[in-house]
Structures are given as structure tokens and as C-alpha cells.
Structure 1
Amino acid sequence: MPKIAIVGSCITRDLWPIRGGGSEQLLYVSRTSLASLLASPLPDFRPARIPPGDLHAHEHKALVADLEKTALARLVAFQPTHLIFDFIDERFDLISTRGTLVTHSAELVRSGYLSRAPFRSWRPISRLSAPCDRVWRDAARAFATLLERSELRRAVPILHSARWATRQRDTSGAISEIRDVEILSGRPTAIAPYNALLERQEAEFLRLMPPMARIDADAFRLADPDHQWGLSPFHYIPEYYDEVRRQLGLLGLSGAFSEQPAAPSAPVA
């Protein structure tokens, strides 16, 4: 059975709970950025024993990993046979505080940790800014070096290339534009700049990393209003996940899923 690690977002993780089981041999690193993943731990941070606010346990676990910087060691120790990357969670701004970087995720906002002492005098780094691009590129270079020098070099690297959907398909099959997009609640944003960012990040990552497989289901890139996590530009219709699973199967990962996906129907018009 393959051991799969994901450094990415729900668009890859949802291949398992949405379209079948088989997640027993799976490590999921999310709600982080390469820049935050490789930064130093947040000084003097002490996580709550019980998830604060309305956070679920898995949300709090991902948040604490981003603040304490434990995910990278877990990733190396896991010794995956396959390592899948997607950059959808690279949409969040970064926070500079106490000599380190953390991800300004919705979970961090909801946790209430921003009001605690470790975040005193923090400053934001806009995701679409040149400084954020620079720290991300530096981290991508560092990750490529880590991959070469650690046990991760034995894993098959795979890039799940993805973009935000600009259209949605309802249960009747009608297709319409997606409107009122937010990254954090109350902060409307446009889709195009983030898709352009994803294109730049993927190109730079492929340049820095050893040769890696690339899977792409953009032909089925439509948002699903009935998605279990709600309407979002990166919560796709079922055919999207089926196509990704099909392509992963061609890379020898069909055994990672409890059932084989059906052949995709028709691509997005």
C-alpha cells in the first residue's frame, strides 16, 4: 500500500473522504505556506488543550503545527512513497512576528491566538506583494534542498496543478459565474490575481524541484454549490475529483483508493 503525504489543501485531501476511503496511509499538511512551513517556531506560544473558539480538532491541529513548526519533521519521519503538492492554501497572507512567519489563516483568526502575547506587534505580509513572493521563493529553494538531502528524496513527487474556478454548476446543470469570493470573512477578493499567483508558483516550483509528475483536471474546473464544505472556487464538482484520481491511478496510485472512479463524463464546456 502506498504511503501518501500531501503538502497542500482540501482539493487533494478530499480525494479520499469525498470519492472513497483508503486514507489510512495518508499524512496531510495543510493551512500553511512553504514560507511558514520552513520558518522557525513561534516563541513562547502555548496551544490550548481544547480547541478554542469554534475550531474543530483537526483544524486546531493544523493551526498548531503551523505555529510550532512540527509538520516538516512529521513529514520526513512519515517516509512517504509519494508526496503530492498543491498550492491552493497559498492564498492566505503571512504574518511576521517574533522573528518568524506564520500563515494568516481563517483558523488563526477564529482561534483568538492573535490577541495573545506571542502576536504582540505582528505585521501582515500581503500574499500578492513582492516581499511575500521573495520569502516564498526562498522557502521553495530550501524545500528543494531538503528534498534532496532527506528521506523525502525516496518519495515520488507529484504536483496537483489547480486554479480557482470562476464558474459553478448547480444541480440542474446550469452554469453561472461565481460571485462574492472571500479569503477571510468580510474581505472580498478577485479570483484572477490568485490564479496568476498559482501559475507563477507552480512554474518556479517545477524549476527548482527534481523532475516530477503533474496532474491537471482543469477541464472539469467548476465549483459545486452542493459540495460538503460549501460553495468555494476550490470546492469542485465530483467529476474533477474523479479525473484527478484517474490520473493518479496512471501514476500507480490506484491502490490508494478503496474504489476506482468512474470514467469522466464530458469536460467543462
Structure 2
Amino acid sequence: MKMIAASAKIHPLSVIEDGAVIGENVVVGPFCHVGPKVVLHDGVELLTHVVVTGRTVIGRGTRIFANAVIGGDPQSLHHDGAETTLTVGENCTFREGVTVNTGTTEGGGKTIVGDNNLFLANSHVAHDCILGNHIVMSNNVMLAGHVKVEDRVILGGGSAVHQFTRIGRQAFIGGLSAVSYDVIPYGMLNGNPGILGGLNVVGMARAGMDKPAIHEVRRAFKQIFEGEGSVRNNAAAIRADYAHSVPVMQILDFIAAESDRALSSPNRGKG
């Protein structure tokens, strides 16, 4: 049985399957298809020719544009057909042709997208990805399975991210870049293969970080990547010196955490 709020506006040329839950003030335009295990929270808008399927929850105020497919089965040879989930947060925007898949059993069964994210045309979020908040994925960006993207990351058009890679908060990925290794918070990566060229200083300033704090992060960056020891040893060696600096500690914690991928650096990928 459908559960459709009285204030929802459903175009007669759309299909809402039995079992779907449609919140207050939801708008579903023509030629949309909403599956039987979908929840559309209050204020969600599907413009036209949108498919929302699978066990998928779409957060309040999210807008989905034409030809997007949200909640499709994972594109994984290892998927066993078990029911997995996709959860999308509030106030996200999915532009034309965006695809987001549910999780896989082996990956924990969940794909999670946070709040206030912008997905431009034809971008793709694969199975078991975990995305934070205020992320911008430009046109044709591709995230492979099990990728983790932290808050306020910007991914330039046509960039591609290898499976199991982590991208730290407020990093910037240049257009057409190949992200094969983890990118530290506030890092700036460009090229194919991707090279960590420095820090996203412009983004740091726009986020309200003052000049002394930015200078501290730059000094720590040089100590980590230009020191004589390994990156991880250099990072561990300076931890006590920067205990007062939240952004530097975010970088150091990111480096110290376990990961399936190596770290991007100014040298990795160069001949």
C-alpha cells in the first residue's frame, strides 16, 4: 500500500509503486518511477524522467533532475543479489543523468550520501561509497566502489577515483585527474597519474581559516612531504608540535589511519 502525504503533488504520468512512502510537499513530475521500497522525505522534488529504486531513502529538500537513476543495483561482479541500501541526506541536488548505486553485502551493504551535496550531470557514485557534506562533484566525475569522500571536497570535471580511495576534507581534485591514492585533507591533486601539488589554500581561506592557521598547515605540509624520513614517520614526528592546530591534526590523523591505498604525494607517479 502506498503512503502518500495529502500535500504531495504526483504527476499522473508517473508511477509510484505500492509500498513507497511519499512525504509532505513532495513533487513528482511526469514520467518518473518510484520503487516500492523508496522513501521520499518532505519537500523532495523529482523533475521528470527520474528513477528512484532499491531500498533507498532520499532526505528532505533534495532535488533530482531528468534521467537520473538513484538506488540502482551495484555494478559489481561480487554482488550476490541481497537487498542493500542507499541513504541520501538533506538538500542534495542531482543533475541530469547522475547515477548512485546501493551497497554490496561484502562492502557492508550501505551507500551513504550526506547533506547539501551537489552532483553535476552524469556523475557517478558507486556501491559502498560514503560521502560527507557540502561536496561538489562536477560533470562526469566517477567514484568507484568503497570510496570515502569527506566534507567540502570539490572534484573537477571528468576526474576518476580508484576503489577504496579516501579523499580528506576540503581537498580539491583537478579536472580529468586520476585519483589512485588517498588525498590528505586540504590537499590539491592534479594530473594523470594524480600528483599532490600542494594545498587548497583558496578553499581554506574561503572556509574562514585565517592566515596564521594556513601558514601553519603549509609549514606542516613541507615537514611531512619534504622531510628526510617517510611520510608517515615525518607526520608522527611533528604531532606534538601541532597539537593546538585542528587542521594539521586532521591531516596527521588521516595519514595515521589504516587504509587500503597508499598516500598521494608530490612525488608519487613521477618518473
More strand by share: 2
TM-score, scaled to structure 1 = 0.25
The structure with higher relative contact order (CA 8 Å, sep 6+) is 1
TM-score, scaled to structure 2 = 0.25
More helix by share: 1
